[in-house]
Amino acid sequence: MSGAIDNQQRGTWMLSGKRILLIVCGGIAAYKSLDLVRRLRERGAHVRPAMTQSAQHFVTPLSLATLSGEKVHTELFSLTDETEIGHIELSRSADLIVVAPATANIAAKLAHGIADDLASTLLLATDTKILMAPAMNLRMWLHPATQSNFKLLQERGIAVCGPADGAMACGEFGPGRMSEPLEIVASIERLLGDETKLPLPLANVSMTAQAEPLAGKHVIVTSGPTHEAIDPVRYIANRSSGKQGYAIAAQALAAGARVTLISGPVNLPAPAGVELVRVESALQMHAAAHAALPADIFVAAAAVADWRAAAASKGKIKKGSSGPPKLDLEENPDILASVATLKKGRPFLVIGFAAETDDVKANGAAKLNRKKCDMIVANDVRPESGVMGGDSNSVHLITKSGVETWPELPKGEVARRLVARLASMMRGAGQ
Ligand code: CTP
């Protein structure tokens, strides 16, 4: 059964009959909330919409009412509403409150207990779980006030999905775009799944039904290739797809960990709930890995480029009469070794991968010693193995105590077994 079909079936099952109060705030991303309503209803959820005054400048109550099939609530002091359905009932009768887009303004109000309109009152007058999907200009998002408001809200148990990086309506580029509707749906499924403890029928999510073996732990995973610029249009890269690292991040999350996924450029959706840090180059990945510490477990699944251009050209290198240009290379820092050899704040478990074409086990064992990590997951990346970019992997787990060879398995299953092993290593060491 394909993952897409699994998710579709799981989603349909998990959201049918769920009551979602959707609060739409004012921002250009409000148009995506219309699609969010459609996606939620497709999955069987009931969506009751509420809008702020400023949201109504971006989408109309009529559009939301038509798509949701429900009355749209906009006013705090509406007598009809207070007799038929008060704001208290509106927020408390929901299984989940979703704020999308969530502006800097609504986050500031909720963080500081301000209730001066319908949306902020609904949020304050409830103990129902809340998911916020922030969307705003990147400078507003990066402002210390906004950052500290969202941090405070998360500490109080409010879930946050996004924002994503990308080109913004204001012409700037960076973090601040609202997550895509399907990513928000995935977060909703995860939150409602956890909350209601529904038995999840699929093998690849069975861990969430057990006690969460990595609850309270922070896991950092590096994943994907790195791109090393030669000039503004060319770069050095490799064939890594990021599938193995993303699968490990998903399984660590399912095991209850807080997960930071530091990803090079790949075409994969981040598992809902991980903290995704997108990078391009090895230097950026190195900086992001150290910035994400402290952690309990560090898994280096990325295929980091060993070298970068010593001096990337600012302009596009043109074909000249003197033949091909000479490319001087400089070695990139070894991220795995730099984390494994930290004198202070070394994660309890530091796990590396070894991509080998020859002498897989011997080369893997040499890397274990050289990089001072606790385990090397060695795999054969000869083109005929199909591992690079493929969906399965056959690995050797190399530790100081020896080598354990696993049969060829789907990458998701390698990830599930690996995370279970890491959890039992932590438990065995009393961590
Ligand atoms: N790694 C890293 N930083 C680098 C290079 C590698 O963190 N600059 C990590 C990878 O994420 C992987 C492990 O080190 O976990 C081994 O990577 P691999 O490419 O197999 O080995 P290299 O150290 O690059 O050695 P070689 O290319 O000589 O095999």
Q: Looking at domain 206-307+327-428, does it have CATH number 3.40.50.10300?
A: yes
In the DSSP assignment, the letter for residue 291 is: H
351 lines ligand 1 (CB under 6 A): no
285 lines ligand 1 (CB under 6 A): no
Q: How far apart are CA 255 and CA 297, in angstroms?
A: 13
Ligand 1 atom showing the smallest separation from residue 354 Cα: 20
Q: Looking at domain 3-196, does it have CATH number 3.40.50.1010?
A: no
138 lines ligand 1 (CB under 6 A): no
Strands 159-160 and 402-405: unpaired
> Which regions of the chain carry the CATH code 3.40.50.1950?
3-196
**Ligand 1 centre from 139 Cα, in Å?**
35
CB atoms within 10 A of CB 69: 11
- What is the SS3 assignment for 265? coil
Choice from 306, 356, 381, 418 to test ligand 1 binding pocket (greatest atom count within 8 A of CB) = 306
Active-site residues, by number, are 170
In the DSSP assignment, the letter for residue 289 is: H
242 lines ligand 1 (CB under 6 A): no
With residue 397 as reference, give the H or E element that holds it.
strand 395-399
Q: In the structure encoding, which two tokens stand for residue 248, read together?
A: 């490990």
Has residue 347 got a pLDDT over 70? yes
> pLDDT band at residue 308, thresholds of 50, 70 and 90?
very high
For the stretch 45-78, pLDDT in tens is 999 999 999 999 999 999 999 999 999 999 887 6
Query: What is the average pLDDT across 379-384?
Result: 84
For the stretch 104-147, pLDDT in tens is 999 999 999 999 999 999 999 999 999 999 999 989 999 999 99
Q: How far apart are CA 423 and CA 213, in angstroms?
A: 6
pLDDT of residue 181: 87
> Which regions of the chain carry the CATH code 3.40.50.10300?
206-307+327-428
**Ligand 1 centre from 364 Cα, in Å?**
10
For the stretch 293-305, pLDDT in tens is 999 999 999 999 9
For the stretch 221-270, pLDDT in tens is 999 999 999 999 999 999 999 999 999 999 999 899 999 999 999 999 88
224 lines ligand 1 (CB under 6 A): no
Burial of 293 (0-12, 13-18, 19+ CB in 10 A): middle
**Ligand 1 centre from 268 Cα, in Å?**
22
**Ligand 1 centre from 370 Cα, in Å?**
11
What radius of gyration do the chain's Cα atoms show?
24
- Overall pTM > 0.85: no
